[in-house]
Amino acid sequence: MSQQTTIRKLAELVNTPVEKLLEQLAEAGMKFSGPDQVITSAEKLKLHGFLRRAHGKADKPADEAIAPGKITLSRSRKQEITVGGSGKTGRTGGSTIEVVTRKKITLKPGAGQGPSAADMDAERADALRKLEESRARNLAEQQALAEKDRQRAEELADIRRREQEDAERAAAEAAANAEVALEEAGKTKTHGHGHAHPKPSAPAREADKGGAHKGKTAHRGSHVMQTGVEDDDSTARFAGQLHLSASDRARRSSAPRGGRGKPARRSMDQSRTGTGFNKPVAPMVREIAIGDAITVGDLAQKLALKGGEVVKALFKMGVMATITQTIDHDTAVLVTEELGHKAVHADAGDAESELLAHAEEVQGEKTQRPPVVTIMGHVDHGKTSLLDYIRRTKVATGEAGGITQHIGAYHVTTPKGTISFLDTPGHAAFTHMRQRGARLTDIVVLVVAADDGVMPQTAEAIQHAKAAKVPLIVAINKIDKSDADPSRVKNDLLAHEVVAEEFGGDVQMVELSAKTGQGVDNLLDAISLQAEMLDLQAVREGRATGVVIESALDKGRGPVATVLVQQGNLSKGDYLVCGIQYGRVRALFDETGNQVQSAGPSIPVQILGLSGVPEAGDDFVVVADERLAKDVAQQRDTKRREMRLVASAGNRMEDIMAQMGEGASQLALNLVVKADVHGTMQALREALTGLSNDQIRINVIGSGVGGITESDAQLAMTSKATVIGFNVRADASARKVIEGNGIDLRYFSIIYDVIDQVKQVASNVLGKEIREEIIGIAEVRDVFRSSKFGAVAGCMVVEGVVKKSKPIRVLRDSVVIFEGELESLRRFKENVDEVRVNTECGIGVKAYNDVKPGDQIECFERIEVQRTL
């Protein structure tokens, strides 16, 4: 506005009549003489303010413009900026500031309209001040965060250091396994080395780049101060720092401390590539095979753990075991799973299945085979005499003197066919059957002395035969004796459901005398007849299978075993597996001691050539070659040893329990059993352990064939066992230990005596128990009350005898309501010590006055009873 404005010109400009303008100016308090008078800018503004007010609008700038000297016209722009440490407003307390920027024009009277040098007004200064404050606040926050990050980084570094140590330890432990694994995989160590420092993976590289945070900043663009409002570089950079991500900050703050700050990251990458011995990212789960038993040490080795760790885990499970101790399969599986690994059952092995495949090959035409007979009966009823008679008269034909040797079994040839007898204790025959789940005996001959009748062991034999579903033939022996009464025997047997044919049953009964031989042929006929009815068949050709009946170690000939062939044909030169032994049949002998070339089904034969002494009851199988025989035998040996370890571990445990007197209410009686032959030893072991019940457990902790040795005596001493010698004696050194330590040693030659005596010993161990016995019951008929005696019950003794000195119980409706003792017991007015059945009496109960008619007073006593098996 370089030109001066007149009122007329202004009226034209604002399009208002000049008169009206003059009026308005007059109203605004400005007097003008005419329209050509000049109007100043101040006057213009005054008019403008007047007019706004007149229209009801307040105009602050206009008011301010009233200030003398200058008029400022302004155009404003609002802008919001957010400031805060990480951009996460909520966490760091960042704030939003409203910045108002104005374009200002200050008009000075006569000074034209261009922008003045003092563009910055008070508001702007205020906004900048606030911004400065905010910056300062954020800087403080930044520093606090940096401090926190530094602490956190230190913690992380600490954790990583510990992990690294753990990893190194794990690596050392895994070294052995890894070597094996590497060998298996055909990898060389250099291969592993080449990957020891792999390049970081793509994402890792990207994350490592310095620009990582930039990308994030860009992503958070809404938080960045926009340029153009304030061209402030420092603020822009500052804002960039504010928006660093937490991870970036952590890395940035840890970087200077950790050198290059990357070892942890590198190790992660290595583990991902699967090279080097770094701590695995997930726990390593091993799958291990466990047999029937394993020592704690072996298990730890399989799991690549320290023995102590497995012991500790077992302890937590309530199993106390040392590293050398054996644990059974189930416990081993449990602890393996507890330790986070997997367990599978160790396969029995291919050799055994191969063996089975071979065994199945023994197929062919089946033909009639001889019956296998076991003789059983009560002691002294004549079993041995009968067997001897048959052997003497029917075996060894053609041999001078007919001397036969005892090999545990023999066969006789009768006009009606061959019969094989098992010359082992009846128990043993059935033990074998139970063990193998197969029939070893076809027929049981039950010997009953005609003069003695049915006795306990007769009944026991009947039970055995019935349980095994083996048919019976009864030999009524000693009929030569004057007091023989065969019909009484037959009648007695009826009570055991053994019914003679003549009574309409199906059991053949033969009267005979083992002494004179009378009727023995009839018995053989009866056996042949029974065998025919049973239609016993077997394959005669092919590889033989069967069972060991007896075994021993012969000083001159080595291990000898009497086997009963069940299928096929056993020949000299055959390879066989026999229990855990194997070998090639060097020679076969029959019961007369003659060498034979082969033996068919149901024929017992003694063999030489085994690697060791098999156990009675072991099976044998002829196999194609020695290798297979050896493999199977060794596998079985391992398995059996494992089982023994478990059994002995169990024994040890029970001993400990018994000694501690806690954890088991069951008592234990330990025995060491030695016998002359395997069959007897096995029969004894079975029979004795079978005596165990809830209260006592009979442990045969040691058993074997042969004399009692010093080691047997030592075993007995350490486990406080009783030594049983069956047809064997203790040698000098064993006797010394036995006598010196007071070990209980007993010799026997009759199985039943052993059982009886063990029962007695067990009873002593069991001790006595206190039992209560009710000796009398009195019924309350009436109750009298006296000040002197209290309540006195008028009673009738309905059972037994009521004694003053014995404890009593008061019963109401068959429920005990009081237990105590008697205060008084009277017959009429007299005090008595006892009152018998069907007698009236007066009873005063001590400390109890609530007796009512209808109650029962039960009198009892406590007695000591010897516990028995």
Ligand X SMILES: Nc1nc2c(ncn2[C@@H]2O[C@H](COP(=O)(O)OP(=O)(O)OP(=O)(O)O)[C@@H](O)[C@H]2O)c(=O)[nH]1
Annotated binding site for GTP: 377-384, 423-427, 477-480
Considering only residues 265 through 304, tell me which ones interact with ligand X, judged by CB under 6 A. Answer: none
Q: What is the DSSP string of 499-530?
A: -BGGGTSSBEEEE--TTT-TTHHHHHHHHHHH
Residue 275 Cα distances to 173, 193, 270, angstroms: 16, 8, 6
Nearer to ligand X, 470 or 520 (CB): 520
> Which of 189-197, 272-280, 379-387, 762-770 is the region at the interface with ligand X (rule: CB under 6 A)?
379-387
Contact 526, 510 (CB under 8 A): yes
Read off the DSSP letter of residue 730: B
Nearest distance from residue 410's CB to ligand X, in Å? 16
Minimum distance from residue 373 beta carbon to ligand X (Å): 15
List, in sequence order, the alpha helices (H) in 66-222: 89-92, 122-185, 189-194, 202-208, 212-219
Q: Is 427 in the site for ligand X (CB under 6 A)?
A: no
- Which of 828, 816, 830, 805 minimizes the C-alpha distance to 858? 816
By rule CB under 6 A, what count of residues binds ligand X?
A: 16
Closest distance to ligand X from the beta carbon of 456 (Å): 13
Q: Contact at 8 Å (CB) between 739 and 845? A: no
What DSSP character marks residue 117? S
Q: Which of the residues 455 through 494 are near ligand X (CB under 6 A)?
A: 477-478, 480-481
Residue number with CB closer to ligand X (131 or 461): 461
Other beta carbons within 10 angstroms of residue 461's beta carbon come to 27
Give the residue, chosen from 370, 382, 519, 559, that forms a contact with ligand X under the rule CB under 6 A.
Answer: 382
Q: What is the DSSP string of 565-629?
A: EEESBEETT-EEEETTEEEEEEEEE-TTS-EESEE-TT-EEEEEEESSPPPTT-EEEEES-HHHH
Least distance (Å) between residue 379 CB and ligand X: 4
Question: To 10 degrees, what angle do helices 710-718 and 732-741 make?
Answer: 20
- Nearest distance from C-beta of residue 411 to ligand X, angstroms: 20
Site string for ligand X, 694-733 (x = CB under 6 A): ----------------------------------------
CA–CA distance, 433 with 631 (Å, rounded to integer)? 26
CB-nearer residue toward ligand X: 727 or 866 = 727
x/- contact string, 338-377, with ligand X (CB under 6 A)?
---------------------------------------x
Query: Is the CB of 381 or the CB of 697 nearer to ligand X?
Result: 381
As to burial, measured by CB atoms within 10 angstroms (0-12 exposed, 13-18 middle, 19+ buried), residue 816 is: exposed
In the complex, the smallest distance separating the C-beta of residue 515 from ligand X, rounded to whole angstroms, is 4
Residue with tokens 């007329």: 8
Per the structure block, which two tokens stand in for 682? 């096995």
Nearer to ligand X, 385 or 714 (CB): 385
Distance of closest approach, residue 760 Cβ to ligand X, in angstroms: 19
In angstroms, give the least distance from the CB of 687 to ligand X: 14
Q: Shortest distance, CB of residue 839 to ligand X, whole angstroms?
A: 55
In this chain, which of 514, 713, 716, 795 binds ligand X, going by CB under 6 A?
514
Q: Which residues contact 343 (CB under 8 A, 6 or more apart)?
A: 287, 288, 289, 290, 332, 333, 336, 337
Closest approach of Cβ 476 to ligand X, in Å?
10
Q: Give the residue with the Cβ less far from ligand X, 483 or 535.
A: 483
Assign residue 814 a region (left: φ > 0; alpha: ψ between -120 and 50; beta: otherwise).
left
Based on CB atoms, which residue is closest to ligand X, 477 or 670? 477
Among 223, 249, 341, 381, binds ligand X (CB under 6 A): 381
Neighbouring-strand partners of residue 82: 96
Of 352, 354, 435, nearest in space to 638 by CA: 352
Least separation in angstroms between residue 749's CB and ligand X is: 8
CB-nearer residue toward ligand X: 72 or 385: 385
Q: What is the DSSP code (8-state) at residue 377? A: E
Stretch that binds ligand X, among 87-95, 487-495, 507-515, 846-854 (CB under 6 A): 507-515
Contact pattern for ligand X over residues 383 through 422, marking x by CB under 6 A:
xxx-------------------------------------
Pattern of binders to ligand X over 642-661, x per CB under 6 A?
--------------------
In this complex, which beta carbon is closest to ligand X, that of residue 250 or of residue 409? 409
Rounded distance between C-alpha atoms, residue 518 and residue 82, angstroms: 125
Q: For the CB of residue 727, give the shortest distance to ligand X in the complex, in Å.
A: 12
- Binding to ligand X (CB under 6 A) within 520-579 occurs at none
513 is a site residue for ligand X (CB under 6 A):
yes
Q: How many residues does the chain have?
A: 869
Q: How far is the CB of 726 from ligand X (least distance, A)?
A: 13
Residues 42-61, one symbol each (x = binds ligand X by CB under 6 A, - = not), give --------------------
Q: Does 379 bind ligand X (CB under 6 A)?
A: yes
Q: Name the residue type at position 699.
A: N
Cβ-based nearer residue to ligand X, 481 or 641: 481
Instruction: Show the binding pattern over residues 209-238: x = contacts ligand X (CB under 6 A), - = does not.
Output: ------------------------------
| CB of 512 or CB of 629, closer to ligand X | 512
Is the CB of 49 or the CB of 425 nearer to ligand X?
425
Name the nearest CA neighbour of 477 among 442, 522, 420. Answer: 522
Measured on CA atoms in the order 34, 35, 39, 45, is the torsion positive or negative? positive
Nearer to ligand X, 381 or 464 (CB): 381
**Which of the ranges 113-121, 378-386, 578-586, 665-673 carries the binding residues for ligand X, by CB under 6 A?**
378-386
Interface pick for ligand X out of 230, 380, 779, 840 (rule CB under 6 A) = 380
**Of the candidates 292, 293, 290, which has an alpha carbon nearest to the alpha carbon of residue 326?**
293
SS3 state of residue 843: strand
Residue closer to ligand X, measured from CB, 513 or 651? 513
Residues 6+ away with beta carbon under 8 Å from 633: 577, 578, 579, 580, 581, 582, 611
When the beta carbons of 351 and 445 are compared against ligand X, the nearer one is 445
Contact 540, 367 (CB under 8 A): yes
How many other β-carbons are positioned within 10 Å of the β-carbon of residue 853? 12
Between CA 250 and CA 159 the distance in angstroms is 15
* Whole-angstrom Cα Rg for the chain: 55
For 367, list phi and psi in degrees, rounded to 5: -130, 170
**Helix/strand/coil for 647:** helix
Q: In angstroms, what is the minimal distance from the CB of 489 to ligand X?
A: 13
How many Cβ atoms are within 10 Å of 761's Cβ, its own excluded? 18
Kindly state the smallest distance separating residue 752's Cβ from ligand X, in Å. 7
- CA 52 to CA 50: how far, in whole Å? 6
Considering only residues 748-787, where is the footprint of ligand X by CB under 6 A? 750
Q: Which residues bind ligand X (CB under 6 A)?
A: 377, 379-385, 477-478, 480-481, 513-515, 750
